[in-house]
Amino acid sequence: MNLTVSNKRIPSRVIRLALFYSLILSFTHSLIATAHVGSSGVIVQKQVGKYQLLISIKPPDVVPGTAIVTVFVEQGRASSIGARPIYFRSGDKGAPTHDILKPVGDNRYEGDLWLMESGSSSIELSIDGPDGKQQVVVPVVAMATALRTMPEGTGFGLAVMGLLLVVMLITIIGASNSDGVLTPGQKAPATLGRRRLVGMGVGLAVIALILTGWRSWWASTAEDYRDVQLYRPTPINTSVRIANAQRQLTIQFDTTGFGTGRRTRRLFSFLLPDHGKLMHAFLVRTPGLDAFAHLHPNRRDSLDYESALPPLPGGKYLLYADVVYRSGFAETLTDTVEIPSLKITAEAAANAKPTDPDDSWLVTEPMGVKASAVNIPHLDNDMVVCGKPGASMKLADGSSMIWMDKPSQILEAGKLYSLKFAVADAQGKAASLEPYLGMGGHAAILRSDGSVYIHLHPVGTYSMAAEGSLVNRIADTTRTFHYPNAARFKDSIDTYVAKLKTLPEAEKNKLLVASMPGMSHAMKINNMVEFPYAFPRAGHYRIWVQVKRKGQVLTGVFDTQVNEPLL
């Protein structure tokens, strides 16, 4: 049997696997997440032509499976929106035609889209209407991330029904082998009962062989899913050493388990720079989340990265390191590291230089709930902005960052928000911002227990390098992608990253912006930056917002409470 979806024939083997995975995954909850810890799905806010779009894509937790695609047309007149998956390995030539999304409200479109292959992929949206035709490519990591078990009651019920069907089938086979040989009016021979028993015996043996083979296939497929298909983050080993009166952070990819399955393998020589950096490493001290650093370690070889640590206080830190592979596969590597305290002279501290000029850090008050209030963390809801709750914080240069247009004091999980922040100088006037790593700003969001983390950009929750890689792959006319020489590719990337560090700030940002043509997200007022996001779970969250002003990276920090939505 074959099935046709969007003019593409799907082999019956894929259909069987899809049904198998759908069955074993229909009874419990997802256990792990992929590129962004605890934040599944992709949120994109983009201006293309006359259309301003807010896009939400929730990929399946098992592949083959269906992704839920939602598009809000915030500006522009659209009459139809089509969507299709494009996989990195097969490219545009191997992709199906567009499925038309269904209008479900004013300027809102939704639809389910089958993703048939694991790995790096993208959703291409085709917008048509009075304001013209436009296309948008959204990177999506399609990986199996859920492991589920069948409830005992359901298993017992299915076993009873299966046993009943087997008994009925054996009875039918026995009857057909005996009664079926009689002609109308013929007297039953003495051997009829023996023939019935022989038929039932043969039927039982055949059914036992079929069930044994089916059981073997089921167990093999389940084992393959658990050990091979199921996504497992790349393990890393993180350590800190002291050299020349400065602490050095080392991040090493752990390759000891590479022989266990293809899903654990990564092509570490084929990392892509995102915003000009091969790795974005975020350090947050636990449990108070009071010390924060955004670092960009240097690559020493394919597996080892190093960075000088800023003057952070000692303690236990959570580490989140974002990397992007040549295929567009984006991954967050996680670890914990103990940073020792280090007492050095003021002169030594002044002479210490960061590994990267764009490294930044902040030490502030611990996260917690005020004793005099309920559900109000520190650094939140201390002011009212235009009649709405807001928050403000003094920045390192004397200016202030303000959280604007907050819908309410307590936010709701699963609801899509536009997190908007503004910067005012010491006199309260709008303070113009400069590009930081080619964009208006960056944000990192962390749940108090570290279970939810995401690195946000004004255009959304995805990697710019991943989008560039997938857009270039779509433009490629070849059906199958072939990787270049690993050593040459690595050397070319290292040369590019090293060159960026030597360029003046204006020239570097110009080059970064040119490499990310679809990333423009200009604000009407140059002192503002906003990020689209939906908090996945209830809890206390801390938000670090990073902007650049007069050549200095400034970090604002805000806390907020997120509750489950009211029914």
Q: At what angle do helices 192-224 and 12-24 cross, to 10 degrees?
A: 80
Predicted local distance difference test score (pLDDT) of residue 7: 40
Kindly state the DSSP code that residue 191 receives in the 8-state scheme: T
Using CA atoms of 518, 136, 545, 74 in order, give the dihedral in degrees to the nearest 10. 110
Predicted local distance difference test score (pLDDT) of residue 266: 62
Answer positive or negative: Cα dihedral of 156, 159, 161, 163: negative
Cα separation, 534 vs 541, whole angstroms? 12
Predicted local distance difference test score (pLDDT) of residue 240: 95
In order of 57, 93, 213, 432, 488, the CA distances from 483 in angstroms are 28, 18, 39, 43, 11
Predicted local distance difference test score (pLDDT) of residue 167: 87
Predicted local distance difference test score (pLDDT) of residue 376: 46
Predicted local distance difference test score (pLDDT) of residue 386: 46
Q: The whole model's pTM is what?
A: 0.80
Predicted local distance difference test score (pLDDT) of residue 184: 64
Reported as type and span, the H/E element at residue 547 is: strand 539-549
Q: Is 4 exposed, middle or buried (0-12, 13-18, 19+ CB in 10 A)?
A: exposed
Predicted local distance difference test score (pLDDT) of residue 180: 59
Cα separation, 462 vs 269, whole angstroms? 22
Q: Hey, what are 13's tokens? A: 């083997």
Predicted local distance difference test score (pLDDT) of residue 377: 47
Predicted local distance difference test score (pLDDT) of residue 35: 54
Predicted local distance difference test score (pLDDT) of residue 519: 54
Kindly state the DSSP code that residue 40 receives in the 8-state scheme: -
Q: Is 507 exposed, middle or buried (0-12, 13-18, 19+ CB in 10 A)?
A: exposed
Cα separation, 350 vs 329, whole angstroms? 39
Predicted local distance difference test score (pLDDT) of residue 352: 73
Predicted local distance difference test score (pLDDT) of residue 215: 86
Cite the DSSP H helix spans in 404-521.
464-475, 486-502, 505-515
**pLDDT less than 50: residues of the chain:** 1-34, 260-264, 371, 373-378, 382-388
pLDDT tens, 494-526? 999 999 999 998 898 888 887 776 555 555 668
pLDDT tens, 90-113? 888 888 889 999 999 888 999 999
Cα separation, 353 vs 226, whole angstroms? 46
Instruction: Report the top-level CATH class of 3-142.
Output: mainly beta
Predicted local distance difference test score (pLDDT) of residue 123: 92
Residues 553, 443 contacting (CB under 8 angstroms): no
Predicted local distance difference test score (pLDDT) of residue 423: 93
Extents of the domains making up the chain: 3-142, 152-179+192-229
